[in-house]
Amino acid sequence: MSLVLTTDSVPDLDKVAYWNEAVSRTLVPVSVAPRGDGPFRGRIATRRLGYLQVSTLEADAERLSRTPALIGPSAEALVAVGLQMSGTATFLHDGGRAEVGEGDLVVYDTTRPYSFDHPLRHVQHVFQLPRRALGVPDPDVREVTGRVIGTANGFGAVLLPFLTALATSTDRHPPAVTNRLAGNVVDLFATLIAEQLHPGGTDADTTRAHLLLRVREHIDRNLGDPDLSPESIARRHRISIRYLHRLFEGEGITVGRLIQQRRLEECGRELARRGRTAPTVSAVAQRWGFVSPAHFSRAFRAAYGVSPREWRGLRADQDRTGRPPAGTPTPAARLETV
């Protein structure tokens, strides 16, 4: 359901103040300065598609400014994509200046100051989403903020009709459909950013490989943390869970399964070590991030084919005889089938 706020029924003397409040409440806090002398006219319609907010602004000539004082330390990190449908704008962001024409896209970060200066009446669609949902590393987002992206050709030409239809549609969808639509928009925006940064694709592949390596190293360093999970990994690397799972699509294993596999491997190694004072099975499990001994035993048996205690006994027999007992499964073979 759309929320529509308009100055039509507001007294002329109160229109600017009303519009300032309407835009600030709907999008993010901004300061509005009209550029004309007559009564100000403005209309903003907004609706949500899951975590994606879609808004359309129609207003007379104005300057919208988001200053450091309006941002504040607790401001939610949002990425916005503006689509200029009519009129023009001068956009200032991070010390840069860009001229936005009809049909142009511009990406900006609401946690940093910016301003839109519209010399004439204008219409703009604004798509806002949490930065963490975008699934793009922060340096890449910073690289494209303030950059004007044309829609006459390239990927922008693919986006234009889709975003226009999405912003102007009045269809109501069930939550499952709106969440999927939001996810599709996020993927499209991430692709747009990747195209802007790496037109050839090679650098994008290198960035993905480096990020995947960092995630695997992070998992290995934090196996003992019981809170290690896809959610915590995504937060640590400032990417979305959706993007994290996409990273592992070609790896033959999910993130959660990799965490469990690596924990079981370390437990198996420790249980196989010889020593005068061997730690208990529950102590080994806890050291490598397993909270429930029962869950650890079930997972270990599924991976190795024997219980942790049986595994320890079998490895001890192997140390004494120099060869594994008949029928003993190898951990590698078992783990590959999990």
Does position 334 have pLDDT exceeding 50, yes or no? no
Please report the pLDDT score of residue 204 as a whole number: 54
Please report the pLDDT score of residue 197 as a whole number: 80
Residue 239 vs residue 322, higher pLDDT: 239
What phi and psi values does residue 253 have, to the nearest 5 degrees?
Answer: -160, 145
Whether domain 3-197 has CATH 2.60.120.10: the reply is yes
Residue position matching structure tokens 């929320």? 3
Label residue 276 by pLDDT band (50, 70, 90). Answer: low
Please report the pLDDT score of residue 200 as a whole number: 57
Question: DSSP labels for 249-276?
Answer: TTTTS-HHHHHHHHHHHHHHHHHH---S
Please report the pLDDT score of residue 230 as a whole number: 93
Share of the chain above pLDDT 90, in %: 52
Are residues 142 and 109 in contact, defined by beta-carbon separation less than 8 angstroms? Answer: yes
CA dist., res. 269 & res. 266, Å (int): 5
CA dist., res. 144 & res. 163, Å (int): 19
Label residue 328 by pLDDT band (50, 70, 90). Answer: very low
Residue-wise pLDDT for 81-121, tens only, equals 999 999 999 999 988 899 999 999 999 999 999 999 999 99
pTM value is 0.62
Domain 201-338: top CATH class: mainly alpha
Label residue 329 by pLDDT band (50, 70, 90). Answer: very low
- Provide the 10 A C-beta neighbour count for residue 337: 9
Residue 127 vs residue 251, higher pLDDT: 127
Intrachain domains 3-197 and 201-338 with the same fold: no
Helix, strand, coil shares of the chain as percentages rounded to 5?
45, 20, 35
Domains of the chain: which residue ranges? Answer: 3-197, 201-338
